Chain A
Amino acid sequence: MLKVSDLHFGYRFRPILQGVSCEVSAGEILHIVGTNGSGKTTLMSILAGLTKETAGSITLTCDNQEIADRRQKTEYLPAEANGLYGKMDAMDNLRFWQKLRGLSPSNEDIIAALAQWDLDHPLIRSNFPTEKYSTGMKRRLALARVQLSGTPLWLLDEPLYGLDAKGIVQFQSILSQHLDAGGAVAVVSHDTVPLETFRPKVLEIEKRTAS
C-alpha cells in the first residue's frame, strides 16, 4: 500500500532523515521508533504531505492503482494537536472534516463513531465546546475523526497520548477493525506494549542516519 524509498530530508547543514525506506501493506502496522529528535514526526509530516522530502519517493497504491494525490487516501493524526475547533462541539467538528472529504455522514453515523470512544452522551457531543474536553477526550475525538475518514491509510503520531486504560483498549479495537477491513497504519509511539498484539513491522530511525 505505502512504499517509501530512499527518503532524505534535512535542514541546511543538518540532515534529519537519510535514506529511509519502508513498506506497509494492507492489514499491516508500521511502527516507527527512535530516540527523541531522530525525525519520526518529520517522517510522518512528509508522509502526510505537510513537508516536502529533499530526495526519495513515496508511493501509495490502492487496489493496484497508484494514487496521485495521497491526501485522498490518508488521514493524519499529528503528535501535538488534534485538529479541533475549540469553540465547536464534537458533532460539528467531525461533520466539518467529513464534508471536506466530500462525505455526508448522517448524525447517526457520527454518533455511532463517538459511541465507540465514549463521547456519545448528548451533553458531551452537542452544544458543548471541545475546548472544555480533557486531554484524553480531545485525543479520542481526534481518533474518531481518523476512524470516520474511511481512508485506507492512517498516519498516527503518538495516538495514545492522554488516553486512559479504557481508551487504549478502544484504540486497539478500532485499529483491529481497520486492519481487518484492509487498511494500513503507520504509527509513531513510545508506548510499544499496546501495539505488540498486532505484531507490527518496526522501522527504527536513528538520529541523523536512518536504517
Chain B
Amino acid sequence: MKLLFSQTMTIVRHGFKIEWANPERWLSPILFAITMLILFSFSVGTIEGPDTAKLLVAETYLTAFFSLQISFARFLEPDQQDGVFSLLRTYPLSGSAWYLGKYITVMIMGLLILIPTIFLTSFLHAKSGVSLMSIPVITVAVTALSGMAALGVLLSTMTMGSGSKQILYPLLYFPLTAPVLISAVEASKSILVDNVNLQSLMSSWLGLLLIFGVMSFTLGILLFGELVKAE
C-alpha cells in the first residue's frame, strides 16, 4: 500500500514537472478557451432574456470540452518519447498506481482549464446577470470532468499502441462522452433556469454523471494493468 501511494505520488509529481517544462502543452488549451470565449462574446454581444442561461451553458461546455480534448489527447505524449512508456512497463509499477497517478494529473490539469473557462464566461457576460461561478454549477462541471478524465486516460492508453490512434481515439471518445456532456448541460440548465438544487439533481442528471464517473474510474483501475502488461 505504501509503495502504491509512493508510486502514485511520483507519477503525479513527475507529471506536473513535465507539464511545467512544456508550457505549450497547457498554454494551448487555455489560450484556445480564451480565444473561443472572446469570439463568442463578440459575436453574441450583450444577451438578455430567458434564454441567456441556456446560451451561456452551451458556450461554456462547448469551449471547455474542446479545450479539454486538446489537453487529454496529448497527455501521454511525453511518455511516448525515447521509449519511456515501454520502459515503464518493465518496472515493478502497479497498474493501479500508474492509472491513479495519470488520472490525478489529468484531473488537476482539467480543473486548471475548466475553472478559468467558467470564470471567463461569467466575466465576459457579466452584464447578462447570469453567473456560472456558483458552487452547484461548478460541482456539476467537475463531476462531468471526473468522468471524462477517467475515460480519457483509459482510451488514450488503449489506443496508444494502435497505428490508427488519430482516428480511433476520437471515434471512441466523442460518442462515449456525449451522454456526459448532455447530462452536464441539462444539470447546469436546471440549476440556472429552474433553480433546482443539487440534492434534487442527484436522482436525475447529476446522478447519471456520478454513475458515469464511478464506472469509468473503476474500469480504468481494473483494466489499466491489463493494457500495459506483456503483449
Contact = CB atoms under 8 A, between A and B. Distances in A.
A36 B7 CA distance: 38
B90 A88 contact: no
Contacts of B6: 99, 102
B50 interface: no
Interface size class of A (residues with CB under 8 A): 20 to 34
Interface stretch (A18-26, A79-87, A159-167, A179-187): A79-87
Contact of A81 (B18, B82, B231): B82
B32 to A, nearest CB: 22
A193 interface: no
Contacts of A71: 90-92
**Interface residue tally on B, bucketed by range:** 20 to 34
B49 interface: no
B10 A76 contact: no
A50 B81 CA distance: 17
Contacts, number: 77
A88 B82 contact: no
Given A50-B231, A71-B92, A78 B18 contact: no
B101 to A, nearest CB: 10
A168 B112 CA distance: 47
A63 interface: no
B91 A100 contact: yes
Interface of B: 3, 6-7, 10, 14, 17-18, 21-22, 78, 81-84, 86-93, 230-231
Given A49-B90, A71-B92, A87-B18, 11 more contacts: A51-B230, A51-B231, A69-B92, A81-B84, A85-B82, A88-B17, A88-B18, A96-B10, A97-B87, A100-B91, A102-B92
Interface of A: 48-52, 69, 71-72, 74, 76, 78, 80-88, 92, 96-97, 99-102, 129, 138
